[in-house]
Amino acid sequence: MKVLVTGGGGFLGGALCRALKAAGHEVVSTQRRHSAALAELGVEQRLGDLADADHVRRACAGVEAVFHNAAKAGHWGSESSYVAANVTGTRHVLAACRAHGVTRLVYTSTPSVAHQGRVPCVGGNEANTPYATGFKAPYPRTKQQAEREVLAANGGPVAGGGVLSTVALRPRLIWGPGDTNLLPRLIERARAGRLRFIAGGRNRMDTTYVGNAVDAHLAAFAALAPGAACAGRAYFVSNGEPMPVREIVNGLLVAAGEAPVDASVPFGVAYAAGALCEGLWRALPLAGEPPMTRFVAEQLATEHWYDLSAARRDFGWTPQVSTDEGLRRLAAWWRAGRPNPPAT
């Protein structure tokens, strides 16, 4: 099958491309810049911006299914930039699927669409964890809007007489071999003495080893069809091993050969610092991301982990790689000089 991965040049997108190639699919990626790793893998690259409707229509030409993974992530940036990437880009993908007769769309969402500030979520599931409101950052707000539109598109007609089946997955904090964002940032802050836990970092939260995230996407893809149990629904995805934030962060640091950290600040201090930073970065304005925002303070200080039963029930997925095994694989990859990572 010929499959398009949006954002194939990124961490999860690249892992999806490798796994799809290993499974025997013909893979196309669309992203803004050429990727030498994808070229080496034999992935066709159709370069452009998802905010460009004409580009997206060209990118979707000739494919039978889409993994829509591309997004503007992070905790800082203009509202318009997040809307363009996450909402407008998703609308263009949906329109291109309809125009080209694409019948399966797997969308990469985030649990942040349902994370309600300081309200803890302990073993929540998709039925009892509603969409959040009152967002303090454009990322979760625009990802929620995109997820809603993807799920609403399920069952709609496409060219050629078929229908579009959609599913949304919400992996939490993906890490593992191939990570060029989270772990390097943690290391940079730790070495500079700027890495602090909030309120001791003892609150538990989910994370997702990259191979588990890929397997969830492939399992949902395999099950997705008109009338399938997973069609038109969203699912939480993680390792299923909620851990205190300090254990997660220090586990990642140690895997990269760095010393663990212990410094902490109270939640009130972090939240106030986030509000101050947001004001300064907007008023001056300053370059780059602020070191703290209210959204990040709430995310890092609030207990939130999820029940994975629905994914097991509806498309037969359970995480296969434990956190300990994932950290072992990450350490081996890091020590080897960070070569091209394996398929999963």
Q: Identify the CA nearest to 12 among candidates 250, 247, 235, 215.
A: 215
Tokens of 200: 């001791």
Give phi and psi for 124, each to the nearest 5. Answer: -70, 155
What is the three-class DSSP state of 338?
A: coil
Tokens of 216: 């969830």
Tokens of 240: 């299923």
- CA torsion through residues 243, 248, 254, 259, sign: negative
What is the distance between the terminal CA atoms of the chain, rounded to a whole angstrom?
A: 20
Show Cβ contacts of residue 282 under 8 Å, excluding neighbours closer than 6 positions: none
Angle between the N-to-C axes of helices 182-191 and 245-255, in degrees from 0 to 180, rounded to the nearest 10: 90
Q: Identify the CA nearest to 209 among candidates 164, 174, 158.
A: 174
Please count the CA atoms within 13 angstroms of the CA of 50 that sit on its side-chain side. Answer: 28
Show Cβ contacts of residue 19 under 8 Å, excluding neighbours closer than 6 positions: 214, 215, 218, 343, 344
Tell me how crowded residue 255 is: count the other CB atoms within 10 A of its CB. 21
Q: Which helix (H) or strand (E) holds 104?
A: strand 104-108
Catalytic-residue membership of 209: no
Tell me how crowded residue 97 is: count the other CB atoms within 10 A of its CB. 27
- For residues 8 and 36, the answer to whether their CB atoms sit within 8 Å is no
Active-site pick, 82, 107, 139, 271: 139
Which of the residues are catalytic? Answer: 139
